[in-house]
Amino acid sequence: MKILVIGSGGREHSIVWKLAQSNVVDKIYCAPGNAGIAEIAECVEVESKDLTSLLDFVKYEWIDLTIVGPEEPLAQGIVDIFQKEGRKIIGPTKAGAQIESSKVFAKDFMKRNKIPTAEYKVFTSYTHAEEYIRLKGFPIVIKADGLAAGKGVFVCHTYEDATEALRLIMKEKIFGPAGEKVLVEECLQGKEVSYLVFTDGKTIVPMVTSKDHKRLLDNDEGPNTGGMGTFSPNPIITPELEKEILEKIIKPTIKGLKKEGIVYRGILYAGLMIVNEKPYVLEFNCRFGDPETQVILPRLETDLLDIFMAMAEQKLHKVEVKWKKDVSLCVILASNGYPGKYKKGIPIQGLEMIKGLNDIIIFHAGTKYDDEGRIVTNGGRVLGLTAIGKDLKEARQKVYSAIELIHFEGMHYRKDIGLIS
C-alpha cells in the first residue's frame, strides 16, 4: 500500500516511523516532512495547507490512504474534499474539526451536552470583556476563539496580565480573525492529562494516557508552548478515573456530535484537568498531540496501518489494539527564543551518535538539510528524544544521557520531564 502522511513535525515523524514497521506498507510519502522523516519516507515539497496540490498528488501517485497530522488542513476541510473524490483519509470533516478550530463552538457544544468543563463567557467587545474580568477576579484564563498554533491561551494572574492579553487579541489582533471572539474562562487548578482515542464514529478505542508539559521552563514556569515534553502512562489516571473520562466525556462527545449531524471519524484528543479526582475538559483537539504521539506510538504493539484502515472502513471494532507495558518519555529540544522569535539554519551536531543507542528514538520536528547537506534547525521545536524504560526513572535517565550528545547553538530543553506530574 502507498501512504501519504501530511505534516512536518515530530508527531508526523512518529506516525511515519510506526507505519514504516508495517508489513503491509510498500511506500510512505510525507508532505512536506523534515530531515528525519526523509530517512524513512519520500518527502514531497507540498505544504500541508495546499489542499489542491495534495489531492493532485494523491491522484497522480495512486495513494491508498492519507493521514493528516496537523489541525489546519482538517479545519480547512481536507477530509470533505478527499472523500468527495473517493479517497481514503484519516481525520474528521470540517464540521467535526470545529471541536478544535473554534473554542467557542467546543465550549457551547460541551454546555449543550453537559460535558464537564470550566465556566466561561464569550466576548466580542474589549470593554465588556474587561468589565467581566474585573468582576470575576484572578487567576482567570483568556483564549482566542480560533486556531493560534497553540499560542492563543493566556493564564492570567493579575489585572495587568489579563488586560494585556485582551489588548493583544482584540486590539492588536495578533491572531487575526482567530481573535474576533474571546473566551474568558474560570481557571481550573489541578493536574493535566492528555487523553486520546481512535474512533470510526461508532467504536472508540482509547490510546494509552500521557502527560504533556506545556510551559517553556522547569517547574511549569514561563509561557505556554506547543509542548516541551511528555511521558506515558500518566500515573494519575486510575481505572476508575479512566472509566469516568470515557463515560462522562469521550462517549457523550462522539454521541453529541452525531446527534448534531457530525459523524466524527479520526483522532479525538481531550486535554483534561483533573480537579478533586474529577475530569474537566480544557480543550479538544481533532488530531494526534505533539509531543504526545512521540510517547504513545512507541508503546503501540498493533500495526498502526491496521487501525487506520479499520477506521477508514468503519470496522474499528474488529481490531484488537495492544500496548506495551513499558513507560515512555520524550524531551523536546527547542530553538532559543521559542515560542517567540528564533533563528533558523543552525547546524545540529551529534545526531549520528544517538543513532547507535539502544532504546532511544529521535524524532525530528523543525529540521532540514541545508545546501551543504548538513542537518540544520528549521523551526521552534527542533527534535524530540524518546526512550522506553521499565519505569519513568529509567526512561528519564536514558533520554537525558542521550541529550548530552546533541548540540546546536541556543538549544533549550526542560530538565524536569518525568519529575513532576
If binding is defined by CB under 6 A, does position 217 make contact with ligand AMP?
A: no
> Taking CB under 6 A as the criterion, which residues in 241-280 touch ligand AMP?
271
CB–CB of 196/289 below 8 Å?
Answer: yes
If binding is defined by CB under 6 A, does position 12 make contact with ligand GLY?
A: no
If binding is defined by CB under 6 A, does position 227 make contact with ligand GLY?
A: yes
Please identify, using beta-carbon distances, which residue of 123 and 269 lies nearer to ligand GLY: 269
User: Among 67, 147, 155, 196, which residue sits at the site for ligand AMP (rule: CB under 6 A)?
Assistant: 155
Q: Give CA torsion, residues 109, 99, 383, 377, to 10 deg.
A: -120
| Grid cell of 137 as nine digits | 477576579
Residue 110 parent element (H or E)? helix 103-112
User: Among 292, 365, 384, 408, which residue sits at the site for ligand GLY (rule: CB under 6 A)?
Assistant: 292
- Please return the burial class of 379, using the count of CB atoms within 10 Å of its CB with bins 0-12, 13-18 and 19+: buried
Angle at 308 between CA 304 and CA 313, to 5 degrees: 145
Contact characters 193-222, ligand GLY, x per CB under 6 A: -------------------x----------
Tell me what percent of the chain is helix, strand and coil, each rounded to the nearest 5.
35, 30, 40
User: Among 43, 153, 296, 383, which residue sits at the site for ligand AMP (rule: CB under 6 A)?
Assistant: 153
Helices (H), 184-227: none
> Which residues 6+ apart lie within 8 Å of 239 measured at CB?
none
If binding is defined by CB under 6 A, does position 292 make contact with ligand AMP?
A: no
If binding is defined by CB under 6 A, does position 283 make contact with ligand AMP?
A: yes
Between CA 232 and CA 260 the distance in angstroms is: 33
Could you tell which of ligand AMP, ligand GLY, none binds residue 292, using a CB distance below 5 to 8 A set by kind? ligand GLY
The DSSP line for 22-44 is -SS--EEEEEE--TTGGGTSEE-
Residue 115 parent element (H or E)? none
Between CA 255 and CA 30 the distance in angstroms is: 33
* Least distance CB 220 / ligand AMP (angstroms): 8
The region of 75-83, 166-174, 186-194, 332-340 touching ligand AMP under the rule CB under 6 A is: 186-194
User: Among 41, 241, 268, 282, which residue sits at the site for ligand AMP (rule: CB under 6 A)?
Assistant: 282
Binding-residue total with ligand GLY (CB under 6 A) = 8
User: Among 53, 163, 224, 302, which residue sits at the site for ligand AMP (rule: CB under 6 A)?
Assistant: 224
If binding is defined by CB under 6 A, does position 203 make contact with ligand AMP?
A: no
Could you tell which of ligand GLY, ligand AMP, none binds residue 290, using a CB distance below 5 to 8 A set by kind? ligand GLY
* Least distance CB 54 / ligand GLY (angstroms): 21
Between CA 184 and CA 128 the distance in angstroms is: 11
Please identify, using beta-carbon distances, which residue of 204 and 286 lies nearer to ligand GLY: 286
Could you tell which of ligand GLY, ligand AMP, none binds residue 155, using a CB distance below 5 to 8 A set by kind? ligand AMP
Between CA 18 and CA 370 the distance in angstroms is: 27
Residue 256 parent element (H or E)? helix 251-259
The region of 40-48, 233-241, 284-292, 299-307 touching ligand GLY under the rule CB under 6 A is: 284-292
CB–CB of 228/211 below 8 Å?
Answer: no
CB–CB of 269/194 below 8 Å?
Answer: yes
49 CB neighbour count, 10 Å cutoff = 14
* Least distance CB 166 / ligand AMP (angstroms): 16
* Least distance CB 188 / ligand AMP (angstroms): 4
Instruction: Name the one residue in this structure whose C-alpha cell is 506547543.
Output: 226
Which residue minimizes CB distance to ligand AMP?
Answer: 283
Binding residues (CB under 6 A) for ligand AMP: these are 118, 141, 153, 155, 185, 187-188, 192, 214, 224, 271, 282-283
Binding residues (CB under 6 A) for ligand GLY: these are 150, 212, 226-227, 285, 289-290, 292
